[in-house]
A and B are shown apart, each in its own frame.
Chain A
């Protein structure tokens, strides 16, 4: 059984780590971003570790669970990794909703960080 390509391994372990942190204590997500990181959350833009963590921490729900349906990873020409995730989430006691999220991962000083992050709910009829 051949090993998965390295970008698949890095991408999928990042994804697992990200949602585990998000679902347990999202105030700790700062560790994966840098000051040049960008987050686009439902069309709203944030730049820098501090702004991103503040946004994610202040989302108005107590509990959240993510369930990953599918993920894809690609190497980019400048040695980054592009990841796309399709999944479902449940915030507090709200109905389950679909979501899409993309990450661009970059290796800086032997550590993988997220430089770009885009999130959208998969809703089509709710404005």
Chain B
């Protein structure tokens, strides 16, 4: 899986309060499975997936496919014991910010996560996709879709209602984030520190 046969290595971080379903969502994305029991975290715990990215050219014709090696990182739950440090955010190019649609507090904390991201991420306006997770638990929902959309709009980030349990919108959320990253790279290619970050991350492998 980790052989060097790809064009880009891209690292994403899943963030959000404990219990919102970060691990399950990543698991659903990489393995198309939902594990309702918790997955014990031993050593390095990131998930990987290979995807092919096709950018649409200005003429609307699809360009050559680029082979992307996606690394999806999760926390181990250490944020309960200390605040996450800059080192944790290092080399992450995109962020999946999750809250739980059945847990109002996790939605209120989205603002805190966004401000942490501004402090620790490689730049002040990193690419983020907001996910309201557990959309399958409709009868337990406490966060309205409009409220979440409003917040996402205010911060200028895409919003999806996802379900790690049935897979709804999970791929779409990750692919939207990848699309944002690839577009940013095309814009910035070769000219700023984003590119250097990117090269550094690739060299890690």
Q: Which residues of A contact B (CB under 8 A)?
A: 41-44, 59-61, 91-97, 121, 123-127
A97 close to B77 (CB less than 8 A): yes
B43's partner among A43, A93, A125 (CB-CB below 8 A) is A125
- Residues of chain B in range 22-74 having any CB-CB distance to chain A below 8 Å: 23, 38-41, 43-45
- Residues of chain B in range 94-147 having any CB-CB distance to chain A below 8 Å: none
Residues of A within 8 Å of B82, CB to CB, are 41-44, 121
CA distance A97 to B45 in the complex (A): 12
CB distance from A106 to the nearest CB of B (A): 26
Interface check B75, CB cutoff 8 A? yes
**Which chain B residue shows the least CB distance to A99?**
B81
Residues of B within 8 Å of A121, CB to CB, are 76, 78, 81-82
> How extensive is the interface on chain B, given as a class?
20 to 34
Residues of A within 8 Å of B204, CB to CB, are none
CB distance from B145 to the nearest CB of A (A): 26
Q: Among the interface residues A44, A92, A94, which one has the most CB atoms of the partner chain B within 10 A?
A: A94
A125 close to B18 (CB less than 8 A): no
CB distance from B79 to the nearest CB of A (A): 8
CB distance from B133 to the nearest CB of A (A): 15
Other CB < 8 Å A-B pairs besides A94-B76, A95-B76, A97-B77, 4 of them? A42-B81, A94-B80, A95-B77, A127-B87
Given contacts A124-B43, A127-B84, contact A92 B19 (CB under 8 A): yes
Instruction: Please count the residue pairs between chain A and chain B whose beta carbons lie under 8 angstroms apart in the complex.
Output: 62
Nearest 10 CB-CB pairs, A to B? Answer: A127-B88, A94-B77, A127-B87, A42-B82, A95-B41, A125-B44, A61-B80, A91-B80, A126-B76, A127-B85
CA distance A43 to B78 in the complex (A): 13
Interface check B200, CB cutoff 8 A? no
Q: Among the interface residues B43, B78, B81, B82, which one has the most CB atoms of the partner chain A within 10 A?
A: B81
**Which chain B residue shows the least CB distance to A44?**
B82
Would you call the interface of chain A mostly helix, strand, loop, or mixed? loop
CA distance A51 to B154 in the complex (A): 39
**Which chain A residue shows the least CB distance to B75?**
A126
CB distance from A92 to the nearest CB of B (A): 6
B76 close to A123 (CB less than 8 A): yes
CB distance from B83 to the nearest CB of A (A): 9
CA distance A59 to B81 in the complex (A): 7
25 A-B contacts, Cβ less than 8 Å apart? A41-B81, A41-B82, A59-B80, A91-B81, A92-B18, A92-B19, A93-B38, A94-B19, A94-B77, A95-B39, A95-B40, A96-B41, A97-B77, A121-B76, A121-B78, A121-B82, A123-B76, A124-B43, A125-B43, A126-B75, A127-B84, A127-B85, A127-B86, A127-B87, A127-B89
CB distance from A105 to the nearest CB of B (A): 23
Interface check B90, CB cutoff 8 A? yes
**Which chain B residue shows the least CB distance to A91?**
B80
CB distance from A110 to the nearest CB of B (A): 34
**Which chain A residue shows the least CB distance to B73?**
A126
